[in-house]
Amino acid sequence: MTRITANPLTKQAFAPFGDIIETDGAESFLINEGKCRRFHDLARVEAIGENARVLVNIFRGQPYPLPLKLTMVERHPLGSQAFMPLSPRPFLVAVCPDEGGKPGTPQAFVARPGQGVNYHRNTWHAVLTPLGEEQDFLAVDRGGDGNNLEEFFFPEPYEIHLPDTP
C-alpha cells in the first residue's frame, strides 16, 4: 500500500483542484451600515447542464479511522462541490490529478479550522473526511438533470497519514 502524508492546505498547492474558502487574504468590505464585513466571491460555483441549479445543503460527516485507507474517489462532471465546516475543527482533503479520465496519485491536505474547499468541476476527490468527531459542513453543489457523479475504485488502496504520525 502506498503511503501519503497530508500537508497543510494552501491556496497555491490546492489551486489545480479548486478554491480554498477562507477569510485570510480575501477581498472584503463593510455592509449593513458598517456592522457586517462581507468576504466576497470566495469560490467559483459551477453548475452546467439541463435544468442545472445550485444546491445549499448541510452534510453531517462521521470520522474515518486513521490512517485513512483511501479506496475510492469521486468527481462531479456537471458542477463544483464546496464544503465549509460549521465548527472550528480541521478536516482531511484528498484530491487526485486527472490522468486520461482516471485519477492519478492522490495528494492529501489538512484543512485548518476556518478553511473550506470548493472542488472544481471534474476534480477527483475523496469523500468528506472529518477528523476525530462528527462534524457538520455547509455544502454547495449542483442539482438538476444528468449524472453528476463518477466514482473510481483503486485496485490497491492508498494509506493517508496525518503529519507527524507513524
Assigned domain for 50 exists: yes
- Better pLDDT: 43 or 166: 43
- Residue 151 is which amino acid? E
| Pairing verdict, β 116-119 and 98-99 | unpaired
Asked if residue 2 lies in contact with residue 108, where contact means CB atoms within 8 angstroms, the answer is no
Assigned domain for 166 exists: no
Question: For residue 24, what are the CA distances in angstroms to 37, 40, 44, 114?
Answer: 13, 12, 17, 9
Assigned domain for 80 exists: yes
pLDDT score at 155: 97
Assigned domain for 134 exists: yes
Question: For residue 126, what are the CA distances in angstroms to 38, 46, 53, 95, 130?
Answer: 30, 19, 23, 6, 11
How far, in Å, CA of 83 to CA of 138, rounded?
6
pLDDT score at 113: 95
The mean pLDDT value of the chain amounts to 96
CATH of residue 54: 2.60.120.480
How far, in Å, CA of 88 to CA of 102, rounded?
34
Task: For residue 153, give the 3-state DSSP assignment.
Answer: strand
pLDDT score at 164: 81
Assigned domain for 9 exists: yes
| pLDDT tens, residue by residue, 65-100 | 999 999 999 999 999 999 999 999 999 999 999 999
Question: pLDDT band at residue 165, thresholds of 50, 70 and 90?
Answer: low
| pLDDT tens, residue by residue, 129-157 | 999 999 999 999 999 999 999 999 999 99
Q: Which domain holds residue 67?
A: 2-161
| pLDDT tens, residue by residue, 7-35 | 999 999 999 999 999 999 999 999 999 99
Degrees, nearest 5: CA angle 88-94-100: 150
Question: For residue 122, what are the CA distances in angstroms to 48, 55, 69, 71, 134?
Answer: 12, 17, 22, 18, 27
pLDDT score at 166: 57
The number of distinct structural domains making up the chain is 1
Asked if residue 35 lies in contact with residue 86, where contact means CB atoms within 8 angstroms, the answer is no
